[in-house]
Amino acid sequence: MGINKYAAKEKHLIMHHVPKRILLLSEPKKVFAYSEQDLPKYTKSGIRQSALRGRLHNSDIAWPYLRRLIALKRMYKHKLSQERLQIIDRMIEASNATMYSKLASCAIDLKRAETAKDMKKKKSWSSSEWKKHTEYLAQIANPKKVFKPPPHDRGKAVPLDVLLPRLQVISTRPDFKCYKKITDEEWYRDPEKVSPKALKYQASERTKKLAVARVVHTDY
């Protein structure tokens, strides 16, 4: 007995594995029905009421750039009171601690900067340092030594009449070779001019034969 072809096809479909992606796409989509109460409410000016009542969970974006605060402190360091400078210091610390400063690689070590400033402050010199400094000042105060070159032996004196012939030879301009232009050369020929012999030229039989176009056969 032969196998029913429809039964074999149905068995093949049952054994076929359907991917999960197709199963997910085959499910019907959930439709959400919104009422007027669920929709966001707006003010008369067109702003959402939830936006007006909202609060920032992360206030890092509200702080100005760190370099601007540091420039502000340097500019008004001697003009503002100590209390206002302390407020600017707190703002610098807050702006330095934001994630935006760290992501931009502009965060600085404030403690290290303060210690560097303290190190730059002048300290009172000890007696040994003052002694070394006075010795250096005494060394600088001395007049500078002038080292004259040793005398050069120029030989015997010679009268001017003996030197004049040599001086005249040295003072004359050397002879330079003057190159002619190509157009001034005897062998030069102007490419724009045509030779009078070329106007009377007559082509030979061989030249006429070569000037005829070659016949191309297209019968084959």
Look at residue 1 and tell me whether its pLDDT is greater than 50: no
Percent of the chain's residues with pLDDT above 90? 8
pLDDT score of 131: 92
**Stated pTM of the model:** 0.31
What are the distances in angstroms from CA 219 to CA 213, 215, 216?
Answer: 18, 12, 9
Q: Under 8 Å CB-to-CB from 141, ≥6 apart: which residues?
A: none
- Residue 90: how many CA atoms within 13 Å on its side-chain side? 6
Residue-wise pLDDT for 25-65, tens only, equals 888 887 766 677 777 888 888 888 888 887 766 677 778 88
Domain that holds residue 66: 60-115
Looking at the DSSP assignment, which residues form a beta bridge with residue 42? 48
68 belongs to a structural domain? yes
Give the integer Cα–Cα distance in Å for 53 and 60.
Answer: 19
Average pLDDT of the segment spanning 63-73 = 87
Tokens of residue 218, six digits: 């297209």
Residue-wise pLDDT for 151-176, tens only, equals 888 888 889 999 899 999 888 887 77
Nearest to 93 by CA among 116, 117, 60: 60
6 belongs to a structural domain? no
188 belongs to a structural domain? no
Look at residue 9 and tell me whether its pLDDT is greater than 60: no
100 belongs to a structural domain? yes
65 belongs to a structural domain? yes
Look at residue 127 and tell me whether its pLDDT is greater than 70: yes
Looking at the DSSP assignment, which residues form a beta bridge with residue 48? 42
85 belongs to a structural domain? yes
Tokens of residue 94, six digits: 């807050």
Residue-wise pLDDT for 83-104, tens only, equals 988 999 988 888 888 888 888 8
Average pLDDT of the segment spanning 110-114 = 70
Look at residue 120 and tell me whether its pLDDT is greater than 80: no
108 belongs to a structural domain? yes
Residue-wise pLDDT for 181-200, tens only, equals 888 888 888 888 888 888 88
Percent of the chain's residues with pLDDT above 70? 84
Average pLDDT of the segment spanning 140-150 = 87
203 belongs to a structural domain? no
Say how many domains are in the chain.
1
